[in-house]
Structure 1
Amino acid sequence: MNVLSPCPPGWGMPENESLAVANEAVTSCYWPLYEVENGKYRLTYRPREKTPVVEWLRKQGRFRHLFEPQNEHFLVEIQKQVDQEWEELLELCGEK
C-alpha cells in the first residue's frame, strides 16, 4: 500500500486544508487511486474533471520556488509528466 499523507508543517499549509489538499492531489491525477491485484490494474477513482497540478502545488509552501518567473518552465514539465503517467495508468487499467 502506498499512501499520501499530508504534513501541514512540512508542506507549508494550514492544518485545516489537509483534506482539501489531499483530495486535490487525487483530482489533479498527481496521486491517482488505483489497485493492483494479481498483476491486474484497476482504477478505483477517475476524476470527472482533472484539476491542473499547478493548483495543487500552489497550495503548498514547499513549492513556492516553482512560482518564481525563472522556474515557471518546471510547472509545465510537471504537468506533462503527470499527464503522461495518467495516460499510462489508464492503459494499464484497460481504460484507454
Structure 2
Amino acid sequence: MAFFLANKTRSLIAGEAAAPSAEQRIRAAVDAAAPEALIVRDMLTLQLGPRTILVVVVFDLRTPFTTAQWRAATAHMTQACLRSDARVSQVSFQPAPA
C-alpha cells in the first residue's frame, strides 16, 4: 500500500506541470482573454497538490499600458484561468526576459 501511495504522489512531490489537457484548457483561456496589446510568450503550470495548480503567464507588451488597463487585463485573464480549471488557485504574471 505504501508503495502504491508513494508512486501516485511522486509527481506532486516533484512539482510537475499540470496534465497536458489541463494546460491546454488554461492556455486557451489565457489566449482568449489576453488583450491585443499583450503577447503571451509562455505559460507555466505547477501542480502544487491534487487540487491546486499555480499558473505563471510570461508576456510581452506591444504597447504601453496604464495602471488601470494593466489591472483590468490581468483581472480578466486571471478570471479566465480560474474558470478554465477548478484546480487553478493562483495566477501570476511575469514579463518575458529581455
TM-score, normalised relative to structure 2: 0.32
Structure holding more helix per residue: 1
- Which structure: larger Rg? 2
Task: Give 1 or 2: higher strand fraction.
Answer: 2
Q: Relative contact order, CA 8 A, sep 6+: which one is greater?
A: 2
Give me the TM-score of the superposition, normalised by structure 1: 0.32
